[in-house]
Structure 1
Amino acid sequence: MDVLHVLARLFGTVVKDRKLEIPEQFGKGYVTRYIFNEQIRMMIMNYELKENMVIDNPEVNAPRNMILFKFQHIFDETEKQPAVLITTTSMNMGPVIPIHTHTSTINIEVDSNYLSALFDQSEKSPVLQSLLENTQPLFFEQVIYPSLQEIVNEIVKTGVKDPFKMFFLRIKAEELVCRLLMELEKREEKHLYALNSRDIQTLYRIKEEMLEHLDTPPVINELAVAANMSPTKLKSLFKQIFGNSIFSYYQECRMKKAAFLLKEGSLSVSDVGYQLGFTNLSHFSRVFQEHIGMKPKQYSRS
Structure 2
Amino acid sequence: MIFNFTATPEFDFMTYFARHIGATINDGLLFIPAGLGNGYIRKLSFGPEFKITLHHYVLKEDLVIKRNTSGQGNELITIFFYSNEQTLGIAFDNNPNVQFSERDESAIQVTSNDLNSTIRFPAGHTIRYAVIAIMPYYLKTLLALNKLNSTIETITSPGHTFLYFENMTAETKLLLKNLSAVDMNDELSQFYMQIKVQELLYLLFQKLSKRESLPHQNINSADAARLLHIRNEVISDLSAPPVLPELAQIAAMSETKLKQLFKQAFGDTVYNYFQRARMEEAAFLLKQGKRSVAEVGYELGFTNLSHFSRLFEKHYGFTPKRYSSKA
Task: Give the TM-score normalised by structure 2.
Answer: 0.82
Counterpart CA distance in 2 for 1:143 and 1:55 is 22
Q: How far is 1:10 from its partner?
A: 2.8
Distance in 2 between residues matched to 1:118 and 1:25, nearest whole Å = 41
Q: Which residue of 1 aligns with 2:85?
A: 76
Match of 1:47 in 2: 57
Which of the numbers 139, 145, 150 marks the counterpart of 1:126?
150
Aligned counterparts of 2:69 and 2:51: Cα–Cα separation in 1: 13
Q: Does 1:4 align with 2:28?
A: no
Pick one of 262, 269, 286 that aligns with 1:245: 269
1:2 deviates by 3.1
CA distance in 1, matches of 2:69, 2:162: 20
Shift of 1:39: 1.8
How many Å apart are 1:186 and its aligned residue?
Answer: 1.6
Q: Which residue of 1 aligns with 2:5?
A: none
Q: CA deviation at 1:64?
A: 5.1
CA distance in 1, matches of 2:67, 2:229: 26
Seen in structure 2, the aligned counterparts of structure 1 residues 131 and 25 have a Cα distance that, compared at 3 Å, is: same
SS of 2:211's equivalent?
Answer: coil
CA distance in 1, matches of 2:114, 2:149: 21
Aligned to 2:113: 89
* Matches for 1:17-56 after TM superposition, within 5 Å: 17-52=27-62
1:1-302 alignment runs, 5 A limit: 2-52=12-62, 65-72=75-82, 74-76=83-85, 79-91=103-115, 100-101=121-122, 103-118=127-142, 122-159=146-183, 161-302=185-326
Task: Give the drift of 1:77.
Answer: 6.7
Equivalent residue number for residue 94 of structure 2: none
Q: What whole-Å deviation, never above 9, does each CA across 1:36-79 have from its counterpart, x for those lacking one?
A: 2112100112333333456797996999522111012x132773
Distance 2:169 2:205 in 1: 14
CA-CA distance at 1:293 after TM superposition: 1.6
Deviations 1:82-106 (A, max 9, x none): 21111122236x8xx8664454321
One-letter code aligned to 1:124: L
The worse-fitting range, judged by mean Cα deviation, of 47-56 and 278-287 is 47-56
SS at match of 2:25: coil
The CA distance in 2 between the partners of 1:54 and 1:265, in whole Å, is 36
Matched residue pairs, number?
298
* Structure 1 contact 46–75 (Cα < 8 Å) conserved: no
Residues 61 and 162 of structure 1: CA distance in aligned 2, closer, same or farther (over 3 Å): farther
1:242 is displaced (CA, Å) by 0.1
User: Closer, same or farther in 2 for the Cα pair 1:57/1:193, shift >3 Å?
Assistant: closer
Higher helix share: 1
RMSD, aligned α-carbons: 2.7
Describe the superposition over 1:169-193 as per-residue Cα deviations: whole angstroms up to 9, x where unpaired: 1111111112322221221132111
1:25/1:226 CA distance change after superposition, 3 Å? same
CA distance, structure 1, for counterparts of residue 311 and residue 293 of structure 2: 13
| 1:42–1:59 CA distance, 2 compared to 1 (3 A) | farther
**Offset of 1:133 from its aligned partner?**
0.5
- Percent identity over the alignment is 33
Partners of 1:245 and 1:284 lie apart in 2 by 20
> CA separation in 1, counterparts of 2:13 and 2:143?
31
Q: Would the aligned equivalents of 1:116 and 1:132 in 2 still touch at CA under 8 Å? A: yes
Q: Is the 8 A contact 1:20 1:32 kept in 2?
A: yes
- 2: CA distance, partners of 1:77 / 1:57: 21
Closer, same or farther: CA 63–77 of 1 in aligned 2, 3 Å: closer
Q: After TM superposition, give the deviation of residue 206 of structure 1 in Å.
A: 1.0
